[in-house]
Amino acid sequence: MDAIKWFDENGNEIIHEPENSDLIEQLTEVGGIFEEFRVGINFYSKSLDRNEITALLGKEPTKSWNPNEKHSVGNSNKTRTTDWGIWYLQSKRDKIELNIKLKDLLESLTLDLDNWKVLTSKYEAWIDVAGYMENWNRGFTLNSEIMKMLSDRNLKIEFDIYFYANDDDN
């Protein structure tokens, strides 16, 4: 266990006698980073053309369909038809730091900002981030490089936060 230091209101260290760390029970952990992330990019429209998006981005989607096209529902064997289409590309869920995941995703797609202008003027477009935490009070930061990349591509960002407490937690 890391050493704990205590200070009084004047900033002077309060010296405590060392304690037997075998007798100390950790009650909680506060703060820190999310345990895992998944990121994706999405395009949605009632006039979506999935082949155009694939061609302009230079990457095959995880899943896509055009309006009025039969497509599967989730991971089931069921299908449906909607009057809207979607194109999305999703990363795997893992422990890679969020800014690295976002940079890898965006750099795997076209760097041609004119292509992004075409896409974001025709379709609703956004990045989604799913953050998974096993303890409360987790956080993350988007660095200025990522924010510029999102802005240059006219992409908004949405966050879904998931909390999975251990069964032993109260």
Q: Are 61 and 49 within 8 A, CB to CB?
A: no
Coil vs helix vs strand at 147 = helix
Query: How large a percentage of the chain has pLDDT more than 70?
Result: 84
Q: Are 109 and 40 within 8 A, CB to CB?
A: no
Residue 148's alpha-carbon distances to 88, 106, 108, 155, in angstroms, are 21, 11, 16, 10
Question: At residue 1, does pLDDT exceed 50?
Answer: no
The predicted model scores a pTM of 0.78
What tens digit of pLDDT does each residue of 50-67 get? 999 999 999 999 999 999
Tokens 């053309």 sit at which residue?
49
Confidence at 2, pLDDT banded by 50, 70, 90: low
